[in-house]
Amino acid sequence: MAKIAQYAYLGGECVDIVDAKISIASSAVLYGLSIYTVFFAKDLGRGTMQAFRLPEHYDRLVKSSRMIGMDNLETYYSYDDFLAVIRQLVQKNDLVGDHFFRFTVHAVEILPGVRTSGLTLSLSAFVYEAKNILPRDDAHIKTSLWRRTADCAIPARAKVNGAYVNSALAKQEALDAGCDDCLFLNQHGFVSELSAANIFLIKEGVLITPDASSDILEGITRKTIIELALEHGYRVIERKVALTEVYTADEVFACGTSAFVAPITKVDGRKIGIGESGPMTLEFRSKLENIHADTNSSMMTRL
Ligand code: PMP
């Protein structure tokens, strides 16, 4: 398990993580009515850290809250407030090493019934050691018997805590089968994503990934890979993807904040490509790692 930092943020102040509590009668607990984002921060040594694509993470939090009807998050917490909380946590925890920061907006109203608007909101944040959720190389995945929650049931492009029951069920099924993660199909039988990462296939040098209407979370790492690929002259196709296309791809990789770029070498017991991390996958992994460490990158914010 990843090590969690001692100080968290809740209700306007830094508190010990053991004291960061919300009520068992809140909508957040009763209905999973919280929205969140997790971002990566790289330790550059000598007390300096930088975070990956912070404005995009803030924007996604705001859009997630809008989608589910939690009103006007940006009027409660501006981007500057968000940044100030991050910097407070960095200082208070005296962080050493790479970390993930998880920011959540909880509906903390007590017993309002099942509704999403006009509720009291509270921002929480905590920090934990940046451990990859997938093996760095050679991840094996299994198609889940569970289907990805349809966007018309719970918005797939919003990071709603309650929706992660779907991910937990499928991930557990994969772990029980001796795999590292699940591969979700959507209700129409097309490839969607992993439990907490997006998927890319590489065929004859072209990157293919399920499109935004395949019930995916539109990942910030996914967007970055697409931008990097186009910048370097690769073709990228976002479209519906059939499972057998995954089986026959030259390379397959997962990407996400906590998966980084993870080569997938087996799907449903079938070897992918040569059964080893592929050259294009490794190229994108190192491009992402270079950005994380680049003090001049416009994608990084100094904390
Ligand atoms: N899909 C799901 C369901 C996720 O939880 C995540 C992790 N946030 C991703 C994809 C990857 O998104 P990102 O690159 O923004 O971390």
Q: Which pLDDT band, with edges at 50, 70 and 90, does 67 fall under?
A: very high
Per-residue pLDDT, 24: 97
Take atom 12 of ligand 1 and give the residue whose Cα is closest: 219
Work out the pLDDT band at 303, boundaries 50, 70, 90: very high
pLDDT of residue 74: 86
Q: How far is the CA of 111 from the centre of ligand 1 (A)?
A: 30
Q: Which atom of ligand 1 is nearest to the CA of 224?
A: 14
Handedness of CA 21, 219, 284, 48 (dihedral sign): negative
- Out of 53, 132, 217, give the residue to mutate to test ligand 1, the one with the largest number of ligand atoms within 8 Å of its CB: 217
What is the mean pLDDT of the segment spanning 273-302? 97
Q: Write down the pLDDT at residue 71.
A: 76
User: Ligand 1 centroid vs 221 CA: distance in angstroms?
Assistant: 8
Work out the average pLDDT over 149-175: 97
**Inter-CA distances, 110 with 7, 20, 121, 162, Å:** 25, 17, 11, 17
What's residue 201's pLDDT?
98
- Residue whose CA is at the smallest distance from ligand 1 atom 10: 197
Q: Work out the pLDDT band at 298, boundaries 50, 70, 90.
A: very high
Contacts of 254 (CB under 8 A, 6+ apart): 134, 139, 141, 181, 194, 197, 198, 199, 200, 261, 262, 264
Residue that has been written with the tokens 């449903």 in this structure:
268
User: How many Å apart are CA 27 and CA 70, to the nearest integer?
Assistant: 12
Question: Mean pLDDT over all residues of the chain?
Answer: 96
Q: At what angle do helices 220-231 and 279-293 cross, to 10 degrees?
A: 110
Residues having CB within 6 Å of any atom of ligand 1? 38, 167, 193, 196-198, 217, 219-222, 256-257
Q: Work out which ligand 1 atom sits closest to the CA atom of 216.
A: 1
pLDDT at residue 47, as a whole number: 84
Q: Pick the closest to residue 236 from 266, 211, 256, 214 (CA basis).
A: 211
The reported pTM is: 0.97
